[in-house]
């Protein structure tokens, strides 16, 4: 007996999608309507049987163990389930009818990158996506040239067959999906050459999405009915657009607030003043009082990120870093010495802050606050 994996030309570790793809390719080449050669017809039967076994997880598992995938005793041991017995005695094994070829499509996920401005104010994007769409050649029927599925000769359209099996309580009759038609009750004898009977093909289509203001990395936008079309022209699944926010060159996001760090010269910090900074809303003026210290902040209200749900925006928090000149000219050095003398500052002594001092400007308080957050 030929090895089913060899017949389909796939490895023993092949996924269901790989097995399905290999079967479709071979079916197009070997189907009797396409290739009338008797040898091809025999190969087509072998390919169909191999696909029937390897596409069904239970049959594949039984086959891999060396058993008969069409027998409940495959693999050398009794594999008769208690559920089969219950079905036989309490009606579960009764006729359930053929299953529809039309099934719902799968959901899909794509990722779209946005910059901080787009995340704050929202943006609209056009993009292309490769997905499953209904086959235009056969109008998603899966049949070629207006043909229709034919009633299965094995199950006579019921989609299932009955079997008499042995169990520890004797013989019982159970129903199983028909292996010949895969439970559909009909067989597509003349499959569409474009979709190989599936009723759908892969194609690229253009979509438009509105990204709301306030999104951040990980947020998903659901586009109902924009996912993959199901087999047999079934309803499409949903498409989820996941947001990936790119880092900004100098603004740091923290929820709905933004943080910005600016360097202020020592003289400006001592005298106080105003500087212009770039924000998401253009240039804005930051005013700081005389004597401001490193680590202090200035809050610019409503210049942060828009709230995703609800109105309003967060704040832009400007962090001040006072810079001390690393090199001084002779004249600058003399001026600073004179300033120190006027202020009564002795460069050889330092002041140690006590732990109970409440000085926002002190280094100790900032260190203490950092450890008590």
Domains in the chain: boundaries: 1-79, 248-324, 338-373
Q: 248-324: which CATH number, 3.40.50.300, 1.10.1040.10, 2.60.260.20, 1.10.1060.10?
A: 2.60.260.20
Q: Which two tokens stand for residue 328?
A: 């001084």
Question: Is-contact 64 11, C-beta < 8 A?
Answer: no
Local structure of residue 63 (DSSP, 8 states): H
Higher pLDDT, 88 or 120: 120
- Poorest-confidence range of 27-41, 147-161, 300-314, 350-364? 350-364
d(CA 181, CA 155): 8
Average pLDDT value for residue range 205-214: 95
Task: For the chain, give the percent of residues with pLDDT over 70.
Answer: 80
pLDDT band at residue 82, thresholds of 50, 70 and 90? very low
Residues comprising the chain, all counted = 373
State how far the Cα of 247 lies from the Cα of 19, in Å rounded to an integer: 42
Q: Is the pLDDT of residue 94 over 50?
A: no
| Residue recorded with tokens 């594949």 | 60
Checking DSSP bridges between strand 150-151 and strand 160-167, what pairing results, if any?
Answer: unpaired
How far from 330 is each of 17, 43, 333, 338, CA to CA, in Å? 78, 96, 5, 12
Q: Per-residue pLDDT for 108 more than 90?
A: yes
**pLDDT tens sequence across 272-288:** 999 999 999 999 999 99
Percent of the chain with pLDDT over 90: 50
Q: What number of other Cβ atoms are within 10 A of residue 268's Cβ?
A: 17
Fold classification of 1-79 is: Helix Hairpins (1.10.287)
pLDDT over 90 at 126, yes or no: yes
In this structure, what token pair is assigned to residue 184? 């559909």
**3 state SS of 232:** helix
**CB-neighbour burial class of residue 69 (10 A; exposed 0-12, middle 13-18, buried 19+):** buried
Would you say the CATH fold of 248-324 matches that of 1-79? no
- Rounded mean pLDDT, 353-373: 48
Distance CA 247, CA 260 (A): 13
Q: Which two tokens stand for residue 209?
A: 């999405």
Neighbours of 89 (CB within 10 A): 11
């Amino acid at each position: 007996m030929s090895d089913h994996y060899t017949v389909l030309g796939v490895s023993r570790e092949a996924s269901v999608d790989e097995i399905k793809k290999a079967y479709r390719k071979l079916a197009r080449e070997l189907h009797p309507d396409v290739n009338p050669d008797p040898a091809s017809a025999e190969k087509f039967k072998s390919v169909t049987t191999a696909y029937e076994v390897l596409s069904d997880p239970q049959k594949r598992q039984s086959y891999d163990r060396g058993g008969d995938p069409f027998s409940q005793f495959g693999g050398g041991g009794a594999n008769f389930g208690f559920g089969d017995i219950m079905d036989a005695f309490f009606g579960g094994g009764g006729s359930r009818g053929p299953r529809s070829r039309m099934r719902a499509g799968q959901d899909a996920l794509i990722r779209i990158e946005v910059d901080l401005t787009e995340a704050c104010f929202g943006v609209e994007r056009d993009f292309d996506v490769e997905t499953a769409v209904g086959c235009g050649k056969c109008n998603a029927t899966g049949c070629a040239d207006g043909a229709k599925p034919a009633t299965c000769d094995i199950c006579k359209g019921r989609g299932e067959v009955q079997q008499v099996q042995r169990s520890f309580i004797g013989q019982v009759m159970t129903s199983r999906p028909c292996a010949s038609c895969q439970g559909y009750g009909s067989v597509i004898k003349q499959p569409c050459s474009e979709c190989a009977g599936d009723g759908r093909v892969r194609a690229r289509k253009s979509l438009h999405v509105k990204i709301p203001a306030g999104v951040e990395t990980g947020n998903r936008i659901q586009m109902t009915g924009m996912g993959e079309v199901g087999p047999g022209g079934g309803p499409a699944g949903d498409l989820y657009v996941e947001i990936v926010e790119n880092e900004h060159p100098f603004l740091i996001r923290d929820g709905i607030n933004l943080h910005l760090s600016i360097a202020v010269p020592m003289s400006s910090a001592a005298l106080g003043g105003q500087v212009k900074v770039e924000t998401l809303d253009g240039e804005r003026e930051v005013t700081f009082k005389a004597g401001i210290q490193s680590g202090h902040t200035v809050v610019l209200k409503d210049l942060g990120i828009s709230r995703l749900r609800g109105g309003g925006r967060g704040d832009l928090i400007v962090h001040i870093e006072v810079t001390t000149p690393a090199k001084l000219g002779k004249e600058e050095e003399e001026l600073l010495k004179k300033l120190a003398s006027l202020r009564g500052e002795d460069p050889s002594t330092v002041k140690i802050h006590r732990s109970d001092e409440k000085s926002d400007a002190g280094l100790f308080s900032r260190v203490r606050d950092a450890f008590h957050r």
